[in-house]
């Protein structure tokens, strides 16, 4: 269950997900130098719109995808606050795939598998990129890129996985139904 996990904060303390029982949670792996980085603005908008109604966003910076988050945790936070005025908490930079991946991500991927990037130019670009990295990328649950999001309902169930190409209005709609 999602409430069995803890995530390390930038200060070395831990966020116990059990403390978020009854909240809607959006968990996202982020990067500061990615083509999807402007999604920070959309995430902050969602946070401002729904936080008072029970939305929590857990931002886990990750440097596993073309090293697009090379900065220190403090530098990442400064970048996000200066450029996007984010107010949701950022966790310590961590891996979301591989032997050092967070246990939370093993759980999330066991709950919601990769279902594709959808349609459109960004989806096509992501598919082309991933084929060059992993020809079998469609057949494993690994996180494919920065800004993959998992939506958790108030009961702790992982209800949606959104790839970075997902339209934010669809994510907004799904959150609004859970709030």
**C-alpha angle 2-8-11 in degrees, rounded to nearest 5:** 150
Q: Are 68 and 93 in contact (CB under 8 A)?
A: no
Q: Mind telling me the catalytic residues?
A: 34
3-state class of 57 per DSSP? strand
Annotate 79-128 with DSSP letters as a single string.
Answer: HHHHHH---S-BB---BSSSTTB-HHHHHHHHHS------SSHHHHHHHH
């Amino acid at each position: 269950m999602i409430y069995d996990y803890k995530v390390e904060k930038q200060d070395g303390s831990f966020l116990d997900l059990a403390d978020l029982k009854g909240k809607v949670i959006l968990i996202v792996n982020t990067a500061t130098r990615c083509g999807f980085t402007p999604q920070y603005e959309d995430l902050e908008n969602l946070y401002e719109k729904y936080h008072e109604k029970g939305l929590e966003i857990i931002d886990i910076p990750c440097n596993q995808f073309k090293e697009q988050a090379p900065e220190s945790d403090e530098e990442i936070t400064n970048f996000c606050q200066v450029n996007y005025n984010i107010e949701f908490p950022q966790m310590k930079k961590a891996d979301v795939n591989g032997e050092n991946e967070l246990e939370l991500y093993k759980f999330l991927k066991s709950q919601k598998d990769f279902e594709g990037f959808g349609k459109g130019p960004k989806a096509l670009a992501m598919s082309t990129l991933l084929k060059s990295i992993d020809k079998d990328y469609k057949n494993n649950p690994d996180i494919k890129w920065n800004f993959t999001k998992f939506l958790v309902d108030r009961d702790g169930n992982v209800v949606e996985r959104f790839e970075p190409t997902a339209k934010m209005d669809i994510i907004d709609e799904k959150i609004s139904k859970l709030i």
